[in-house]
A and B are shown apart, each in its own frame.
Chain A
């Protein structure tokens, strides 16, 4: 069955520290992969996407993610976190040939000043 797992419900980092948010997926073929961010009271905003090609993907707001097929992972990273990055982050898989998107349950990021 297709699934997306974000193992960390909450993560706290200090401002200026590096960040890695984990995402593991289960999907039979090469997936379309996405990371979204949701600020409090807002909808989800696309950070980046992976379809094919270079496994390191650059996104907005200084984020990047690396697709590792052997580990079925698509982890999100940022070298230096800003207080404004505090939000909830969702990993998602798009199923080829369908309109179905599978979302993880999210990781809430807290940033300490």
Chain B
């Protein structure tokens, strides 16, 4: 079974801090994704990566960056955290190309920015 592990379940950070959210998958999946989940808005894609060092912007990339130095690890970076980035962040991975491969999700990181 695919395991996607997010390093923190809960994080509390101050406005202006640089925040790192880490995600590791153990099934050699090419694709990794970062989503943000807010009530009533569903899941919104922040960034995704289809290979090491390759990344593409999703629907809401502003205020975020990502890093993928190794195939199994995909990091989301908040360069200067703001209160409107308080949210649940979900990492996911998938095998293969195109939209036909199911996403495998981590348990999420609930980030609070004060």
Contacts and interface: CB of A to CB of B under 8 A. Distances in A.
A is bound by B: yes
A45 B104 CA distance: 7
Contacts of B48: 99
A96 interface: yes
A90 B50 CA distance: 24
Contact of A43 (B40, B50, B108): B108
Report, as a range, how many residues of chain A touch the other chain: 20 to 34
Contacts of A43: 4, 90, 92, 105-108
B108 A94 contact: no
A97 B31 CA distance: 14
Given A90-B43, A99-B98, A46 B108 contact: no
Contacts, number: 68
Given A32-B99, A100-B45, 10 more contacts: A31-B99, A36-B105, A41-B108, A43-B90, A44-B92, A46-B103, A96-B100, A98-B98, A99-B50, A100-B99
Nearest to A47: B102
Interface string A14-49: 000000000000000001101010000111111001
A96 B101 CA distance: 10
Report, as a range, how many residues of chain B touch the other chain: 20 to 34
B105 A44 contact: yes
Contacts of A42: 107-108
Interface of B: 4, 9, 31, 33, 40-43, 45, 48, 50, 56, 90, 92, 97-108
A99 B56 CA distance: 10
A103 interface: yes
A105 B42 CA distance: 4
